Amino acid sequence: DSGVTQTPKHLITATGQRVTLRCSPRSGDLSVYWYQQSLDQGLQFLIHYYNGEERAKGNILERFSAQQFPDLHSELNLSSLELGDSALYFCASSVDLSEQFFGPGTRLTVL
Amino acid sequence: EDQVTQSPEALRLQEGESSSLNCSYTVSGLRGLFWYRQDPGKGPEFLFTLYSAGEEKEKERLKATLTKKESFLHITAPKPEDSATYLCALSRTDSWGKLQFGAGTQVVVTP
């Protein structure tokens, strides 16, 4: 158990819908990262927040957005969902810029 | 453009049969090279961070090494519980914690 929690574990929804994924980092970690893992793309970096501020963006679609709240938990919002958005979404946290500890993931299925 | 290439894609070992996994990389300004282990449907589990050429780290049956162009993960006398996908990732000095992952090596250890 890494200490990073993610909810929900599974999410099934339809195309065009909007969903919110939630992440709570390890106690004391100020950085939260979001990654997407699909069979054809592997594990891809989406976005990094540090103490509430956005610090880096990867190839994150405009339909996706994230934020980190004052209590340090983070949410990833995915809108206008498409079939290709089906994937595992992982949150990771770190105390500094060294090793990142990953949560168990949210499996998103878009039908 | 940064690249992380892992080989082989898959490896099947007999219990006790030692082997090595390769992670070759090209990057301008390497800050760290990371190894993770991932079980099916679960989040990556942190194993090692290597920061400079010549550095080595060990944990139980695993040993990671780093040169200026590649990293190796040596598995000594593997057991069936070492079966997993092993991922390497790099971060750049100017990337604020973004990890770029390789596609992984799927290792199966049979009794």
Rounded alpha-carbon distances, angstroms, from residue B71 to A66, B16, B47, B48: 33, 22, 13, 11
pLDDT in tens, B10-46: 999 999 999 999 999 999 889 999 999 999 999 999 9
Inter-chain touch A97–B45, beta carbons under 8 Å: no
Alpha-carbon separation of residue B94 from B3, B51, B88, B91 (angstroms): 16, 15, 19, 8
Alpha-carbon span B22 to A13, nearest angstrom: 39
Q: How far is A18 from chain B (nearest CA, A)?
A: 23
Q: What pLDDT score was predicted for residue B1? A: 84
In chain B, residues with a C-beta closer than 8 Å to the C-beta of A35 are 99
Q: Which of A18-27, A97-106, B16-25 has the lowest mean pLDDT?
A: A97-106
pLDDT digits (tens, 9 = 90+) for B62-76: 999 999 999 999 999
Of B32, B89, B96, the CB nearest to A48: B96
Which of A55-59, B48-52, B102-106 bottoms out in mean pLDDT, i.e. has the lowest? A55-59
Give the mean model confidence (pLDDT) for residues A69-85: 97
Q: Which residues of B touch A106 (CB under 8 A)?
A: none
Give the model's pLDDT for residue B96: 65
Is residue A49 within 8 A of residue B98, CB to CB? The reply is no
Q: Is the pLDDT of residue A85 over 90?
A: yes
Q: What is the mean pLDDT of chain B?
A: 95
Is B103–A42 a contact, with Cβ atoms under 8 angstroms apart?
A: yes
Nearest CA in chain A to B37: A102
Amino acid at B37: R
Chain B residue nearest residue A4, CA to CA: B43
